[in-house]
Structure 1
Amino acid sequence: MDVPSLKKTHPQKYYFKALCKFMFYLGMGDLWYEENGASYISKKVYTAWRIIANGYIIIILLDELLSYARTDLTDREKNDLVQFSFAHPLIYCKVLTLYIWKDRIKVVMERLLEGSRPIFHSLELERLSVKQFSRHCFSLTSASYVTLCSATIEGIRLHFIEDIPIRTEVVYFPNRSETGFFINVLRFFIEFHWYSIVAMMATMDCLALCSLLTVGHKFRVLRLYFRELRTRIMEHRGKKTREQLNEEFKKGFVVGIKLHVDALWCARNVQQSMGPLYSIQVMESVALLVMCLIKMVVAERTLTYLIANFAYIMVLIILTGSYMMAAGDITHEASEVGTAIFHSGWEHCDGRADLRTLAVVALQMSQVPVYMTAFGVITLSYTNFISVLRSSYSFFAVMY
């Protein structure tokens, strides 16, 4: 299927495929579940690119960690070092998690996009879900790069004021006293490293967020199916015999149960395959929010520095809030399925015992809450989003 027709007929698949393609170009491997038909030479070239891209990230991370051995760091550099040497390795932990769960993610992605769609789908709801994808991914990516640009502007300001090289990350080599063409080229790659690793982080988080939003979409489609089932039964009353009406409803109700089982399977397996990403993000957000608050208290309060720090805080809040709200939508949508099942029209089918039994089983299954969690303990929800922010401030208040 060509790209324009895919965008019109299956917008969710189009969006996921575009994300996976971008991750592929970043050297994060092929996460798409369909065969790409690449030649042997192309595969070897791409393997070399993956080694170079990931080696570049790892080498700069090690250079950053080694800077703890430096004795000439200023107070500002020490504060930045603690913050970045905590945040950047955690971002790469997300990449490693993606590599570990790659095969499982492919299976889950295929089930999300293809599993129950041939049975029943709503193109209108799919388009609405893709608009959600775009809003979440745009806000996350734009906030991330606004933060990077703010940090770069602050580095340029310090370059002109203090006559030091432009710096956004603190590394062991090169230090501020070293100069030369090769050193300047190396400095460029060190500064570009932050942009590169954030691109990886943004695409991973977008993939995880889109997976959560797709699970929520599945529960919305399920509710629509049961509403349409009721409408169909009400329209056929008086036009078909009771036996025909009962049989039609029973077949439709069984299909609805299958759709519900598929949605629950997707929720459970998205949690298993993407759960480590949520867990890392929650831990990272709490710790980095505390660090940013402390930096705002102890560091020099220039306008560009405050903008950079506020931008960093904002991206943490947006990223954590996106996860929490997308997961909270799943819990809410799943909780509404029981009402849709109860009002699906089973009471109009002559009171057959087997239909009542099916309805009771389906209702019992829908009463089990669907939660997405971090570390298997912290429930991702609207309420816990506020709790995470409060915990960060409380920890800062105790520490400071």
Structure 2
Amino acid sequence: MPLKKSSRNMTSIKFQDNRTFGLFHTICRIIYLSCATNFWFEDMDYPAKLMKIYNATSRVLEVTVAVFIISDWGAFWTQPNLTEKQSNDRILFAFSHVVMYSVYSSIVYYKLEIRELVMTLAVRLKVYNDGTIEKMMLRTTFRYLTALVFVCSSTLFSFGIGSGIQALTTNATFTTVIPIWPDVEDRRIIAGAARIVHYIVWWIFVVRVISVYFIILTSTIGITHQFNNLCKYFEKLENIFKGSGSQEEKERKYENAFKVGIKMHSITLWCTRQTQLAGGVAFSGQVIINVFVLVLLMIQMMFTERTLIAMMPIIFTASSVLIGTGVFLWNAGDVTIEASRLPAAMFHSGWHNSTRQSSVRVRKLVTIAIAQAQKRVLIKGLGLLELSYESYVTIVKSSYSLFSVIY
């Protein structure tokens, strides 16, 4: 559907005035190019014919990816002649790909909710916008998304390079993932071509999954910095009483401004709940993948030759899992930390400068607002695990503990 002219103008204006708007707009454009899913609250500003062709192509790729995942599980019945490493890879990929695709499907399912979330973070909450905090958010987002892309792409490259070198220097075939067909010992040209196709489809699958991870991760970072933004907003309210005007005017202005802050806090809490709803499977899936994959990788290391080529895929896969889980849990924990600073910011907002009847109203308002802000803001995985720096360390330790029990 072509983008309306008014939407194009609005996008242009807000992109210039609001860097958060520009960030989310860019992220949504990247996601659309990766999987043809529009998380933006307006139409994508791409040519209509191109979008029509790409949407049809993406549906074909979606079916191809689904067949690819089914092929992972079919290999348990058709691939009996595997080495110990290949057998572990088959289990690792079959399980992790299902979890990753479940995350992808869940996020796409909540597309409308995410659109509303993006619109709220990029537009509605920009009543007050601290430039320094916004720059910090942009740097944090760029740093984490770059790290996520680097480690995930490095994993796929390492499997491709490792398998390619083995195929060129030994009698092995170019086998990255273990598909339902061809057999790992099949050396026909058509079998080799099929393995290359499987490797390309693997890239397509990972690109689609990682791209939708972007929107959940960016939203979580955005909420963290919005709580920081709110703290700065309340702390600056005391400046109202340092300005010109009568005491009555200052008190009225302060009271109205404090109510605006309460409304922004309420909307920010809604954004947190919306992120938990849309990203709940992503948070839970990442925890499950972390434990399962790390245990399998530690088992695999016991049977792997200690050479650079053999160890490279294991090292990059472990790094990918650890960093991928880390960026989710660390930022979810930052939401809790920044939200916990809000009651103190409200208390130091200057309410004590109000007098007479205004003082009575403001004290009641501040008391209720602080009581609401003192409730812990949490993002959870698996419905009960509080995501934070501490839970990240616990999850990593539990992976090794489980490995120790097994072996």
Q: Which TM-score bucket, shorter chain as reference?
A: over 0.9
Asked whether the equivalents of residues 9 and 123 of structure 1 are also in contact (C-alpha less than 8 Å), the reply is no
1:84 paired residue number: 93
3-state DSSP of counterpart to 1:171: coil
1:265 paired residue number: 270
Q: How far apart, in 1, do the equivalents of 2:11 and 2:167 lie? A: 47
1:367 paired residue number: 374
Q: Which runs of 5+ in 2 are unaligned?
A: 1-8
Q: Which runs of 5+ in 1 are unaligned?
A: none
3-state DSSP of counterpart to 2:245: coil
Q: Sequence identity of aligned pairs in percent?
A: 24
Matched, 1:170 2:170: no
Q: How far apart, in 1, do the equivalents of 2:321 and 2:354 lie? A: 53
**Which residue of 277, 280, 298 maps to 1:293?**
298
Asked whether the equivalents of residues 129 and 217 of structure 1 are also in contact (C-alpha less than 8 Å), the reply is yes
Matched, 1:11 2:16: no
3-state DSSP of counterpart to 1:231: helix
**Which residue of 304, 307, 311 maps to 1:306?**
311
Matched, 1:61 2:66: no
**Which residue of 346, 349, 361 maps to 2:351?**
346
State TM-score, norm by structure 2: 0.92
Q: How far apart, in 1, do the equivalents of 2:354 and 2:64 lie? A: 66
Superposed CA deviations along residues 245-283 of structure 1, whole A, max 9, x for unmatched, are 211111111111111111111111111111111111111
Asked whether the equivalents of residues 290 and 395 of structure 1 are also in contact (C-alpha less than 8 Å), the reply is yes
What one-letter code is carried by the residue in structure 2 that aligns with 1:399? I
Q: How far apart, in 2, do the equivalents of 1:56 and 1:249 lie? A: 59
3-state DSSP of counterpart to 1:175: coil
For residue 6 of structure 1, report the CA deviation from its aligned partner: 5.4
Matched, 1:130 2:138: yes
Alignment RMSD (CA, Å): 2.0
**What does 1:1-400 correspond to in 2, within 5 Å?**
1=9, 8-36=16-44, 44-69=52-77, 70-117=79-126, 119-233=127-241, 235-236=242-243, 239-350=244-355, 352-400=359-407
What one-letter code is carried by the residue in structure 2 that aligns with 1:75? E
Q: How far apart, in 2, do the equivalents of 1:390 and 1:296 lie? A: 17
For residue 28 of structure 1, report the CA deviation from its aligned partner: 4.2
Superposed CA deviations along residues 340-391 of structure 1, whole A, max 9, x for unmatched, are 0000000011152111100101110110010000122011111101000111
Residues 164, 4 of structure 1: CA spacing in aligned structure 2 closer, same or farther, 3 A cutoff?
A: farther
Q: How far apart, in 2, do the equivalents of 1:370 and 1:182 lie? A: 55
For residue 158 of structure 1, report the CA deviation from its aligned partner: 1.9
Asked whether the equivalents of residues 160 and 176 of structure 2 are also in contact (C-alpha less than 8 Å), the reply is yes
For residue 96 of structure 1, report the CA deviation from its aligned partner: 1.0
Asked whether the equivalents of residues 28 and 95 of structure 1 are also in contact (C-alpha less than 8 Å), the reply is no
Residues 7, 242 of structure 1: CA spacing in aligned structure 2 closer, same or farther, 3 A cutoff?
A: closer
Q: How far apart, in 2, do the equivalents of 1:19 and 1:185 lie? A: 34
Residues 2, 106 of structure 1: CA spacing in aligned structure 2 closer, same or farther, 3 A cutoff?
A: closer
Once the two structures are overlaid, the 10-residue window that deviates more, 381-390 or 344-353, is 344-353
State TM-score, norm by structure 1: 0.93
Superposed CA deviations along residues 206-257 of structure 1, whole A, max 9, x for unmatched, are 2211110000111111111112111232x12xx4332222111111111111
Residues 180, 7 of structure 1: CA spacing in aligned structure 2 closer, same or farther, 3 A cutoff?
A: farther
For residue 60 of structure 1, report the CA deviation from its aligned partner: 1.6
For residue 20 of structure 1, report the CA deviation from its aligned partner: 1.8
Aligned residues: 396
Q: How far apart, in 1, do the equivalents of 2:43 and 2:157 lie? A: 38
Asked whether the equivalents of residues 84 and 303 of structure 2 are also in contact (C-alpha less than 8 Å), the reply is no
What one-letter code is carried by the residue in structure 2 that aligns with 1:227? E
